[in-house]
Amino acid sequence: MAEIKVPELAESITEGTIAQWLKKPGDYVEKGESICELETDKVNVEIMAEESGVLQQLLANKGDTVAVGQAIAIIGEGTASAPPAPEKALQLAEEPKPAVPVDRAEQPAPQPVAVAQAPGQRPIASPAARKMAREKGIDLTQVPTVDPLGRVRKQDVASFAAQPAAVPTAEAGKPVIREKMSRRRQTIAKRLLEVTQTTAMLTTFNEIDMSAVIDLRKRKKDKFFEEHDVRLGFMSFFVKAAVAALKKYPYVNAEIQGDEILLKKYYDIGVAVSTDEGLVVPVVRDCDRKNFAEIERDIAELAAKARSNKLSLADLQGGTFTITNGGVFGSLLSTPLLNGPQVGILGMHSIKLRPVAIDEERIENRPMMYVALSYDHRIIDGKEAVGFLKTVKDLIENPEDLLLES
């Protein structure tokens, strides 16, 4: 017999949540084979068996919070046959069972009833019911069931979910929905609050005429795709422009450590990606050494990994500067929050046709984008911030200069 424990993941990660079990009790598991998926503050990771054998028992259920070093399963020798699920057995042992009617023939048709639960106890429910309840944010103790033993089934949860979504609460007497924050959302909330409390954040704005980049992209995108098997987007232009601006204004590529400033002479650019579980910022490494195709390929691969929960901790660590594009969701203007401990973040926005004065007599409709630079005023002065953003603007409006810079 051997215990499977939550391994050391990263210095800042001390616990996680069981997202799903990939194996069930009775399954034979090879050494190195994944047995469960663990959701941490940053990424989802798979926990692997350290030796071969039969999975004897699960010591934690899906949705449980477990600490680094905690035993979550037992593996040992035996025959690969599926024993009763320990979660169900545990529930039946711990919770009171409603009495079964003696003579069903004399009983009226069963009606849904809410089974009373003692404080701190979980209702008896099938795994499928628990999964659906978590996905829909439903409290299982509020779900009525017709099962004589009080078990909540998937169809009970589905019926309950089909009712009006909001339920009155005793505190307010008004319709509300109470939903538990996911671990990742809690981490995002905590970090963003820390940024606002520990930095002197300001934002400066500018606008960019995207005509030249749009024209260049139209002329080159087909050939670019044929040669590199990746599409030419706008993000690679902004990454290269940001690197050039960071070289010119190095304090935007810095970090505060106590009473010292750490100036970074490398350019690992974080690119914010929106997922169903929240915003993540995977990092494109050594952007000063990569061409447009390599940057576009890295961004596409990292975005795909983010949306399929396949990012590793290494993918998220060590960025020096961040770019976020709210324009993909239609944002016209915003104030991006710093991605600590970084001291600068560039916000891109929607491209909109707007009338622009060409000279004293001419006005033309041009594709314009508002851009924003949020920065930590403790080490970056307004002059540097404005200069940084002006450099990005000039390079995007003159992409030939950008090619020379890279």
Q: What are phi and psi of 364, to 5 degrees?
A: -130, 150
Q: What is the Cα–Cα distance from 142 to 62, expressed in whole angstroms?
A: 20
The answer to whether 237 and 252 are in contact (CB under 8 A) is: no
Q: What is the Cα–Cα distance from 116 to 25, expressed in whole angstroms?
A: 30
The answer to whether 325 and 348 are in contact (CB under 8 A) is: yes
User: DSSP letter string over 258-325?
Assistant: TTEEEE--S--EEE-EEETTEEE--EE--GGG--HHHHHHHHHHHHHHHHTT---HHHHS--SEEEEE
Catalytic annotation, pick one of 276, 381, 394, 401:
381
Burial of 302 per CB tally in 10 Å (0-12, 13-18, 19+): buried
Give the position of tokens 């010292």: 260
| Alpha-carbon torsion, ordered 125, 130, 133, 138, to 10 deg | 60
| SS3 category, 178 | coil
Q: What is the Cα–Cα distance from 43 to 37, expressed in whole angstroms?
A: 10
Token pair in block for residue 283: 């990092």
> Is residue 144 reached through a cis peptide bond, with omega within 30 degrees of 0 on the bond before it?
no
Distance in Å from the first CA to the final CA of the chain: 58
Catalytic annotation, pick one of 41, 156, 377, 401:
377
Query: Amino acid identity of 69?
Result: G
Active site residue 377: yes
Active site residue 229: no
| SS3 category, 360 | coil
Token pair in block for residue 229: 């098997």
Q: What is the Cα–Cα distance from 156 to 146, expressed in whole angstroms?
A: 8
Active site amino acids: 377, 381
